[in-house]
Structure 1
Amino acid sequence: MKNGIHPEYRKVVFLDASTGFKFLSGSTKSSDETIEWEDGNTYPVIRVEISSSSHPFYTGKQKADTAGGRVDRFKKKYNLK
């Protein structure tokens, strides 16, 4: 492998902006914002919009599609069962 071509890999805190959920993970991303973690060390913070704490698949709060598909609309339009 060539030296100097790979990004620096470091620990960062990912913060879900919608729920406030935080987790520590490794990443090549960097940030000027920092936070003190539970272990007493200071890490860069990467804000994310969706995490397992807020994603509908993981929270079980998925919206049901009540509109139906093409077949359902066709049957409704022509009163078919």
Structure 2
Amino acid sequence: MKKGIHPDYHEVVFMDSATGKKFLAGSTVNSSETVDYEGKEYPLIRMEITSDSHPFYTGKQKFTQADGRIDRFNKKYGLSEQ
């Protein structure tokens, strides 16, 4: 491989903004914010959704919008629950 053309690969801490869960992983992403993780200082990357808060992984999916649509459909077309 050519030297000097690849980004710097280093360890970073990713934090789920919703749950506060942190995990260490390798990445090329840079951040000016740092955090102490297990006694060592690492760059911190804040994520809105990770496997700790995503409904697919947690099993806590929300169907509130779909439920309302189904009820409206049943009301409109006179279908009742059987």
Overall identity of the aligned pairs, in %? 60
How many aligned residue pairs are there?
Answer: 76
- Decide which structure has greater helix share: 2
Q: Which runs of 5+ in 1 are unaligned?
A: none
Q: CA deviation at 1:79?
A: 3.6
SS at match of 2:30: coil
RMSD: 1.9
**Residue number in structure 2 paired with 1:35:** 35
| Structure 2 match to 1:20 | 20
Distance in 2 between residues matched to 1:17 and 1:80, nearest whole Å: 43
- Which deviations, in whole Å up to 9, do the C-alpha atoms of 1:21-62 show, x marking residues without a partner? 100000000111111111x11100001100111111111111
Report the Cα distance in structure 2 between the residues aligned to 1:78 and 1:37, rounded to whole angstroms: 57
CA distance in 1, matches of 2:58, 2:24: 20
What TM-score do the two structures reach when normalised by structure 1?
A: 0.78
Matched position secondary structure for 1:18:
coil
State the AA in 1 paired with 2:3: N
| Counterpart amino acid of residue 52 in structure 1 | S
Number of the residue aligned with 2:46: 47
